[in-house]
Each structure stands twice: as C-alpha cells, then as structure tokens.
C-alpha cells in the first residue's frame, strides 16, 4: 500500500504537471481535490484516465469519483481492492 501511494504521488506530479510539488509535499490523508494543491474537476478526469490505463479500473460516475479521489490513501485503497495489476 505504501509503495503504491509513493508510486501514485510521482504519477500525479507527472500527469497533473505539478511542477512546484515534491512527492513529500503530499499528505496522503489530506483532501486531494479542492485542497492546497489546486486539483480540480478536470484533474479528477485526468486521474481517472490514469487509473484506467495503468491499473485497469474504470471510474465513470461522480459519486464513486468523489469517494475514490477524496485522498491519496482512498485512491490507493480502491486500486488495491479492485486491480489485478497490484499486489497488496
């Protein structure tokens, strides 16, 4: 799980082009969307594409998206539970 969270931090910095953010700046339990990092609804969609592409999990409704992308640890947990590509 921790390994996955670290992996996700690097991926988010890359796909969301968070140039001034380092992996250690993320609070894995903190609010991911609408929080300090300025991540918004378009980023959520970009993250959903990444989750589908890299982990084979489809997130295509708002309700689920809100839960999954609430925090990095939620996201990691959802991926761990649902993906066959990650070993927990």
Partner 1 sequence: MTDKPVYIGGVGIISPLGSGIAKTEKILRQNRSTIEPLELFSLLQGSPLPVGQVHGLDEQSPLPRTHRLAHIAATQAMEGCIRPPDAIIFGTTTGGILTTEQLLRANEHKKELYRYHGLNTVVSYIARELNCTGPALTVSTACSSGAVAIGMALKMLRRGQVETVLAGGVDSLSRLTYFGFHSLQLVDRAGCKPLDQNRQGMVVAEGAGMLLLTTVKPKNHHGLLLGAGFSCDAYHPAAPHPEGQGAFTAMQTALTDGGLTPDDIGYINLHGTGTPDNDLAESKAIHRLFTNLPPLSSIKGASGHSLAAAGAIEAVVSTITVSHDLMPANTGLEKVDPVLGFTPLINPSERSTNAVLSNSFGFGGNNGALVIGKAGIFPQPVVRQPCRGLAIHGYSCLAGAGDTAAAIDRMQNGVSVAGRAAADVISKNLPPRLIRRLKRLPRMTLSLAAGAHENSQFDNQNPGAVFMGTGWGALSETHDFLSRLTDSKEQFPSPTDFVGSVHNGPASQVAIMFGSTGPNITTSGGDYSFEQALFAAELMLDDPAGAALIIGADEGHDAFSPLFDPSVRAGSTLADGGAAFSVSRSTVGAKCSISIPFFKSGKGDGVVAALIDSLGGDISLQNSCALVLAGIPAAGRREGELQLEQFMTQSKLSVPVVHYRRLTGEFASASAVATALAVSFIETGGIPGAVTGKRDIVIDNRINKILVLGLGQYITVLEISRL
Q: Are 18 and 12 in contact (CB under 8 A)?
A: yes
One of 1, 10, 49, 64 touching partner 1 (CB under 8 A) = 49
- Measured from the CB atom, the residue of 39 and 73 that comes closer to partner 1 is 39
Cα angle 28, 77, 51; round to 5: 90
One of 53, 67, 81, 85 touching partner 1 (CB under 8 A) = 53
One of 42, 63, 84, 87 touching partner 1 (CB under 8 A) = 42
- Measured from the CB atom, the residue of 48 and 73 that comes closer to partner 1 is 48
Q: What is d(CA 52, CA 69) in angstroms, rounded to the nearest whole number?
A: 14
């Amino acid at each position: 799980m921790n390994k996955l969270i670290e992996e996700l931090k690097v991926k988010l910095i890359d796909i969301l082009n968070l140039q001034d953010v380092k992996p250690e700046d993320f609070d894995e339990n903190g609010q991911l969307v609408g929080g300090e990092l300025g991540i918004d609804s378009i980023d959520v969609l970009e993250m959903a594409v990444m989750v589908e592409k890299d982990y084979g999990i489809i997130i295509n409704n708002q309700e689920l998206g809100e839960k999954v992308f609430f925090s990095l640890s939620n996201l990691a947990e959802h991926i761990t539970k649902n993906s066959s590509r990650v070993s927990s």
